[in-house]
Amino acid sequence: MIRISSVENIYSKEKIVRSILKDLPEYFGIEENIKDYTDNAKGYPLWVAFDGALALGFISLKKTSEFTAEIYCMGIKEEYHVKIFVQSFTRHLMHTQKVSIFMNKLKL
């Protein structure tokens, strides 16, 4: 069963983000960019989708106002790239964070 949990520990954030972005060379193939996303994600709230202890994907959220936010970075392991999974993340954030999320660069 997939559960979405907030991750607060910066070392866990770094390990999860790096691991998932490395699994997505088509989108995040440049090592310098992976390092930037990994370093910056430590400073933003991070939610991770787990199947047991396995991290399947993550989303980091950058609040832009009291009522809105933008997705700073999002990664889902290649084998879990399905529309319903992405929708589960955004529904979870919209409900728990009480913000509207607009996605404009998403390939489904």
Number of domains within the chain? 1
Residue-range definition of the domain harbouring residue 90:
2-101
- For residue 56, being part of any structural domain is answered with yes
- For residue 62, being part of any structural domain is answered with yes
Q: What is the pLDDT at residue 12?
A: 96
- For residue 64, being part of any structural domain is answered with yes
Q: What is the pLDDT at residue 1?
A: 72
CA 62 to chain centroid:
11
Give the CATH number of the domain where residue 92 resides.
Answer: 3.40.630.30
Q: What is the pLDDT at residue 87?
A: 65
- For residue 36, being part of any structural domain is answered with yes
- For residue 107, being part of any structural domain is answered with no
- For residue 50, being part of any structural domain is answered with yes
pTM: 0.74
Mean pLDDT split into 10-residue runs, the chain, 108 residues: 89 96 91 93 92 91 88 88 64 72 51
- For residue 106, being part of any structural domain is answered with no
